[in-house]
Amino acid sequence: MYIAIAGNIGSGKTSLTEILAARFGATPHLEDTDNPYINDFYEDMGRWAFNFQVYFLSCRIRQAMDALRSGGDLFQDRTIHEDAHIFAANLREMGLMSSRDHATYMNIYALSDELIRRPDLLIYLRAGVPKLVEQIRRRGRLYEQNIDEAYLARLNDKYNNWIGNIYTGEVMTLDIDSCDFLKDPQIIDNVSSRIREICKR
């Protein structure tokens, strides 16, 4: 079983990944916040965009391949598809990643897309910018505190377009503006039921 949790920065992916993995007795595969380029990237996005994105992509490829090869369940915080279609695409459109670097990045993504199967279910955590900002501030990662709201809004637009028009796998959307899965256990029960339905197929 391969369950992926997708969503913008601050949407709650790590928390939901940990909760669901615990519910199903699996190991959560979280985003590597120790990316060695992360501080450099937030200081000078144009200089470090390619390095930053390739590091995240390589980590997620390794996570997925290791877990799926072992035959275990994979609960993954963010996917290679988001790396490519949301973050790298956004950096390219903002002029922060050169066309040459973007083409190289997408070639690496295309190869990994052939190696790693699509998630059985992608859970999309949709949240407005005010909610994202609130949750980013609450968790207090220093390098995130100055993220521009316009940047978050651009990412939201990319996510909504990707979910609505590009991604072809099965999706379950949680509206984080109106539901709090940390406080309402019924939400986790509903998500778990959906996962169990998929497992029976």
What type of residue sits at position 162?
A: W
Q: What is the CA radius of gyration of the chain?
A: 16
Of 77, 157, 177, 184, which one is the catalytic site residue?
Answer: 77
Look up residue 56 and give its two tokens: 């995240």
* Whole-Å CA distances, 19 to 11, 54, 95, 110, 121: 14, 28, 37, 31, 16
d(CA 201, CA 198): 5
Could you confirm whether 77 is annotated as catalytic?
yes
Sequence length of the chain is: 201
Cβ pair 156, 38 in contact under 8 A: no
What type of residue sits at position 58?
A: S
Residues serving a catalytic function are 77
